[in-house]
Structure 1
Amino acid sequence: MTEAVQKPARPPEELSFEEALAELEALTAQMASGTVTLEESVKGYERGAKLLLRCRSELARAREAIERIRAENPGAADGDTPF
């Protein structure tokens, strides 16, 4: 996590699902490498918790959208769709 110049991290709620997931994966890899200080680990853990909430929120939103689409299109999930 230590870099020569660190740009301020965008708030998790401003990130797309893909951006939040990529950052979460990078944080996990850095922390697992054992090359970060305890303080950096704690900050990374805090950031990771917020990113995880963002990812879960986006997944829940997508799940709700799919359920709504299925409810509005009964039979579409029965294999008679073109995709």
Structure 2
Amino acid sequence: MARAPKSAATFETALAQLEEIIHAMESGDMPLESALSSYKQGTELIKFCQAKLADAEQQLKILENEELKPLDLPDAG
């Protein structure tokens, strides 16, 4: 499994860090070296999040007897 980059210990923390990086990069005011560093950190965060999601999916498969079922949500309206 991928290690948590820097201080990202949870999926939610990593996702928040990734959103911060995206916002900073989209501003267009970031120097090239910072942009490259942020891009690298962002790719590490993406890998971490993907691994966490894959783990969660595997756990759901186990809970559902090895068959991932669609989530049926009740109608909100």
TM category, shorter = 0.7 to 0.9
> How much has 1:15 moved relative to structure 2?
1.8
Q: Is the aligned partner of 1:25 residue 2:19?
A: yes
Code of the aligned partner of 1:55: C
TM-score by length of 2: 0.75
Structure 1, unmatched stretches of 5+, are 1-10
4+ residue runs over 2 A deviation: none
The superposition leaves residues 1-46 of structure 1 with CA deviations (integer Å, 9 ceiling, x where unpaired) of xxxxxxxxxx527520000000001100100111110000000000
2:63 to 63, 66, 69: 69
Compare the two structures and name the one with the higher helix fraction. 1
Q: Distance in 2 between matches of 1:15 and 1:58?
A: 11
Percent identity of equivalent pairs: 32
When Rg is computed on C-alpha atoms for both structures, the one with the higher figure is 1
Structure 2, unmatched stretches of 5+, are 73-77
Q: Distance in 2 between matches of 1:66 and 1:53?
A: 20
Q: Write out aligned runs for 1:46-65 (5 A).
A: 46-65=40-59
Q: Distance in 2 between matches of 1:56 and 1:20?
A: 11
Q: Distance in 2 between matches of 1:15 and 1:43?
A: 20
Q: Is the aligned partner of 1:12 residue 2:5?
A: yes
1:34 corresponding residue in structure 2: 28
2:75 corresponding residue in structure 1: none
TM-score by length of 1: 0.70
